[in-house]
Structure 1
């Protein structure tokens, strides 16, 4: 048996191989059954055998129809990994009046114009060889899968909203945040050029209790929306919010936010090292506490980021077009089960077959259970549908017309409005339906049944069952994004991993809200009341501070005096002078006024003139 030649032999660049002499080549229909010339593999079909014989119904092919082996990709690039039925040799025999140019089902043959010049083809736009040439039938049966799990909470039902939230913000992740933040503060303090005037020199060790207070204030900034973080600590009558000053000073809050950190592991190959522990903790917690229902949805989500970032993405149909892309697996009602951040190339799921790797990565904990996954045309393909069906998982969704493995017949069929055409292969249903425009869809669960649907105008329409179920169950990720947009806590000036951490923190609040209302026997809460219940426990009422607010403010004369010697004609006389203070109200309008009066009811007993005292305490 002769060895199959490698790429260097099959794609030789020797000019003699392109001479005008006609050379015999093996065709697709060669049997090659001899022991000396084993051409059973697909690559050997397009290579030369040693004996130089030329069999088959085509005879010798002219030179201008031969494939240019330099410009034509290998057959292995056009292969589909899906299993398709074997097509007999008789199905490829063409009538004598049809030339090779009419043999369009083989995607490896190039196309030519009227002058016999080869036309460049986009390999990505062509259907795969096996999917396009396989025998697609107009009728077929769908495989029946049983859902073997139950939708349930795997931990005791939380008694209040804070307990539901602490399922995600457990002691392990809190200890990690405290430890890494303290380590990062030490690194910042040891940087060259840090002087005593820097705020970091006042750093104190962060504790778990202080970290919970910090996170509570951070979530509260989404309830009371102000443009700048400094505004929450202002004493101006337009911004006076005493709750923030009672729990933490402004400088301490800004210092914790500056040093907030989650990982000290310097791994250059992972661009998401700074946020990786937070992502893994969320995915692990959701897998341990909740078993989802049958229907699942998979889609992208965007976190706004307009700054410089190597893996920043652009999706034109999203609310935030520029930012960090999340691949999210969720339930139709909006519970996020698992997510993965796109970090660009050199990732585990990057490279060829990226979408299939993402789907299988997100579904790895939910395969072989009979789930129904709904995806859009960015993910769906014939190969992926076969792989998921082998793992006892349905998939349904829209399909791109140039996806590999698509049947050729559907790409050329013309339909009127309301008409549809369906084909089946290996328990996979691919259909084409025309509404206002053509819609191509794929499903391994729903057949070509048409269902009646009433639109918003009250009209009864007929739609394919796959499209109806896709519309009903595909909005889980968009619903989650809608819930997070009501009380945003992110700030534009934050570092990218801190902004992602706050986004994951809000996802935890939304998931806790869904799980609490779903399994708790108590009265259902809306999202606003649920957040306030959490904040009331994280930021308990300060009883000591209420007494300070009841202090009576009076304008009194300054009691502090100083002795000063004054020279006169008769000698030196000692006199007493009141130490005047600068008026606090006049100072705010950049006017310097020394006053004899002060207010002992205010912090620090500031000085006031009579007019500013009335304005300040009115």
Structure 2
């Protein structure tokens, strides 16, 4: 063999058939691409092979081998877009096929089968012959004539139109890929009409008490009466009850007595005292006669002890003790009232510092520790529906908890064109698409780490007042810089900037989604504020009793809003509204006039005594009144000597001025 000038030689692979014709036919299928321009078998061996035609071992140069493998790779890329990435061809030549005979191999797409056997004549006789890489690979290949390979285009990157074509998933749910890769700076928002009407579904109430009875009706009162009496029997029959215990004097409660009990409980929110027993004290600093006139202290405490709402025991349902109250409130609001277009969804807290398996902590709330409520409300504070968070055993817990909560609270309001405002605890791209498919808008702040957010907004830098918006599938996600960055999402409002005036009179320019969010999001916080004015919960109560009184106050607050919206009478403030309801629950008792047989008059004690008092060398006689101990103060465990007495009372007891009026009025 003679050395060919040019690139360095390396050992070529040996075909066991020893036939150049066979080898030429194998390579001819790939002989028409850019890097390999041999058009025939003779040209191939004259340019790429050894000059000695008598020698069976052929030496292939680097350029010829590279061109052969490049042509094979182009063929394989055309056949399938899912091939593996090709490593450096220079590295693949050094891998021997077998210990006996080294052979130049193609890239990693070609599999090593050891020695290459003779190519069957049946393949050589066909006009279409696969490449060596196809013969050595177990992948499915397409045989294409060599004259057609010349016209095959190389694979180019996908066009912009192709790259922005979204592939829909079978379940019609947005994919993570679509939520992070195909956002655009221009988009159109879906137009949804509000198909319902804000209205009261029952006759309008004529007075505040009738509005209150729309929510606290006879059905719920009868339920509480039945469960409370049943629970009192269980407490009475429990082991460890002493003979003189208060429960031994239990009498079944009635609906009228329960109404009186609820009225007194609401009254404790108007007059705040630290202890429940203080409302029945006779001390002149605490004397509030209205409580003792309607119910004794022991009876009130006994009803509060036995107050119950469900006798069912379900270990899986942690909220079984309060479930009837929650369901009744939600069902009644759904039956009597349909809200307007704008809705807000947020959390509320019922204070609870004791041990509880599902106690929560929210640092931005007024009560940081307690039972968490998910509340759906109107912007004016009317509560439409709420659900208690019960921990891991809840039916909405697990993966996608926040989405499940939103869909649970909105299940009766979907497909109607509502606009729901939520904070970043709930909002996500996936939830926005689901609500949009159910004809419901959503707007609110967005967590920057939420799955599905566009990647571009995570790294962009803005100056104060600037806004950057991206759109996809009718969902608008924007980033606005105020004092700090604000990330928001909306399916209703686009990237329009609007002017607004703050409480200091300064005109500011903000995104329309932010302005609407600030106007309509505060419904739950406003409801919490109104409930805080007249709280009637007590620290010593069990957790489900605190939830009941919280629900009772929400019912009264809702009745206040419904009365002012739909009643023909003039609007009332919350204080007067509560006072009107208390007057109905606690009617004025008839006054009993006691005819006094004798007239009691506070007079000065007439009994006097004399004594001698020495003043130097002289002695002087002094006359002074004999004081008496005050009878009223002695009962209060105080010792007071007084100058006055009541001659009409038995024994003519001594009385101070205050005790005289307490005893005779």
What TM-score range do you get, normalising by the shorter chain? 0.7 to 0.9
1:149 correspondence with 2:193: no
What CA distance in whole angstroms lies between the structure 2 residues aligned with 1:609 and 1:450?
Answer: 83
Q: CA deviation at 1:343?
A: 0.8
What SS does the corresponding residue of 2:655 show, helix, strand or coil? helix
Task: Name the residue aligned to 2:574.
Answer: 527
In structure 2, the CA distance between the partners of 1:56 and 1:219, relative to structure 1 (3 Å rule), is: same
1:611 correspondence with 2:655: yes
Candidates 477, 496, 514, aligned match of 1:449: 496
Q: CA deviation at 1:128?
A: 7.5
What CA distance in whole angstroms lies between the structure 2 residues aligned with 1:543 and 1:292?
Answer: 43
Please give the residue correspondences for 1:179-578 in structure 2 after superposition, counting only pairs within 5 Å.
179-545=226-592, 547-548=593-594, 554=600
Q: CA deviation at 1:54?
A: 7.5
Are the aligned partners of 1:297 and 1:373 in contact in 2 as well (CA < 8 Å)? yes
What CA distance in whole angstroms lies between the structure 1 residues aligned with 2:486 and 2:571?
Answer: 40
1:586 correspondence with 2:634: yes
Q: CA deviation at 1:133?
A: 3.7
Are the aligned partners of 2:179 and 2:429 in contact in 1 as well (CA < 8 Å)? no
Task: Name the residue aligned to 1:55.
Answer: 83
In structure 2, the CA distance between the partners of 1:359 and 1:490, relative to structure 1 (3 Å rule), is: same
What SS does the corresponding residue of 2:260 show, helix, strand or coil? helix
Q: CA deviation at 1:553?
A: 7.5
Q: CA deviation at 1:192?
A: 1.1
What CA distance in whole angstroms lies between the structure 2 residues aligned with 1:438 and 1:212?
Answer: 52
What CA distance in whole angstroms lies between the structure 2 residues aligned with 1:406 and 1:582?
Answer: 80
Task: Name the residue aligned to 1:15.
Answer: none
After superposition, the C-alpha distances for 1:330-367 in whole angstroms (9 at most, x for unaligned) are 00011000000001001110011000000000000000
After superposition, the C-alpha distances for 1:297-353 in whole angstroms (9 at most, x for unaligned) are 000001111111111100000011111101000000110000000010011100110
Are the aligned partners of 1:131 and 1:406 in contact in 2 as well (CA < 8 Å)? no
In structure 2, the CA distance between the partners of 1:305 and 1:135, relative to structure 1 (3 Å rule), is: same
After superposition, the C-alpha distances for 1:247-271 in whole angstroms (9 at most, x for unaligned) are 1111100000000000000000011
Structure 1 residue ranges without an equivalent (≥5): 1-29, 35-52, 63-88, 94-126, 557-580
What CA distance in whole angstroms lies between the structure 2 residues aligned with 1:92 and 1:227?
Answer: 74
In structure 2, the CA distance between the partners of 1:90 and 1:422, relative to structure 1 (3 Å rule), is: farther
Are the aligned partners of 2:192 and 2:417 in contact in 1 as well (CA < 8 Å)? yes
RMSD: 3.1
What CA distance in whole angstroms lies between the structure 1 residues aligned with 2:599 and 2:451?
Answer: 79
1:160 correspondence with 2:212: no
What CA distance in whole angstroms lies between the structure 1 residues aligned with 2:314 and 2:366?
Answer: 32
Task: Name the residue aligned to 1:118.
Answer: none
Please give the residue correspondences for 1:14-93 in structure 2 after superposition, counting only pairs within 5 Å.
55-57=83-85
User: Mean Cα displacement is larger for which, 497-506 or 133-142?
Assistant: 133-142
Q: CA deviation at 1:613?
A: 7.5
Are the aligned partners of 1:128 and 1:406 in contact in 2 as well (CA < 8 Å)? no
Q: CA deviation at 1:177?
A: 0.2
What SS does the corresponding residue of 1:611 show, helix, strand or coil? coil
In structure 2, the CA distance between the partners of 1:459 and 1:555, relative to structure 1 (3 Å rule), is: closer
Q: CA deviation at 1:457?
A: 2.6
Are the aligned partners of 1:585 and 1:616 in contact in 2 as well (CA < 8 Å)? no
After superposition, the C-alpha distances for 1:570-589 in whole angstroms (9 at most, x for unaligned) are xxxxxxxxxxx995531321
Q: CA deviation at 1:32?
A: 12
In structure 2, the CA distance between the partners of 1:598 and 1:148, relative to structure 1 (3 Å rule), is: same
What CA distance in whole angstroms lies between the structure 1 residues aligned with 2:323 and 2:363?
Answer: 27
Q: CA deviation at 1:232?
A: 0.8
In structure 2, the CA distance between the partners of 1:449 and 1:592, relative to structure 1 (3 Å rule), is: closer
In structure 2, the CA distance between the partners of 1:450 and 1:550, relative to structure 1 (3 Å rule), is: farther
What CA distance in whole angstroms lies between the structure 2 residues aligned with 1:384 and 1:552?
Answer: 81
Are the aligned partners of 1:294 and 1:370 in contact in 2 as well (CA < 8 Å)? yes
After superposition, the C-alpha distances for 1:108-142 in whole angstroms (9 at most, x for unaligned) are xxxxxxxxxxxxxxxxxxx9842454310100000
Relative to the length of structure 1, the TM-score reads 0.73
What SS does the corresponding residue of 1:187 show, helix, strand or coil? helix
In structure 2, the CA distance between the partners of 1:56 and 1:90, relative to structure 1 (3 Å rule), is: farther
Structure 2 residue ranges without an equivalent (≥5): 1-75, 92-154, 160-173, 603-628
What CA distance in whole angstroms lies between the structure 1 residues aligned with 2:324 and 2:459?
Answer: 50
What CA distance in whole angstroms lies between the structure 2 residues aligned with 1:143 and 1:501?
Answer: 42
What CA distance in whole angstroms lies between the structure 2 residues aligned with 1:31 and 1:332?
Answer: 60
Task: Name the residue aligned to 1:177.
Answer: 224
Q: CA deviation at 1:507?
A: 0.3
What CA distance in whole angstroms lies between the structure 2 residues aligned with 1:32 and 1:348?
Answer: 52
In structure 2, the CA distance between the partners of 1:323 and 1:610, relative to structure 1 (3 Å rule), is: same
Q: CA deviation at 1:462?
A: 1.0
What CA distance in whole angstroms lies between the structure 2 residues aligned with 1:218 and 1:592?
Answer: 37
Q: CA deviation at 1:554?
A: 3.6
In structure 2, the CA distance between the partners of 1:385 and 1:614, relative to structure 1 (3 Å rule), is: closer
In structure 2, the CA distance between the partners of 1:203 and 1:429, relative to structure 1 (3 Å rule), is: same
What CA distance in whole angstroms lies between the structure 2 residues aligned with 1:362 and 1:218?
Answer: 30
After superposition, the C-alpha distances for 1:534-589 in whole angstroms (9 at most, x for unaligned) are 011111111134x2599987489xxxxxxxxxxxxxxxxxxxxxxxx995531321
In structure 2, the CA distance between the partners of 1:550 and 1:329, relative to structure 1 (3 Å rule), is: farther
Q: CA deviation at 1:225?
A: 1.1
What SS does the corresponding residue of 2:591 show, helix, strand or coil? helix
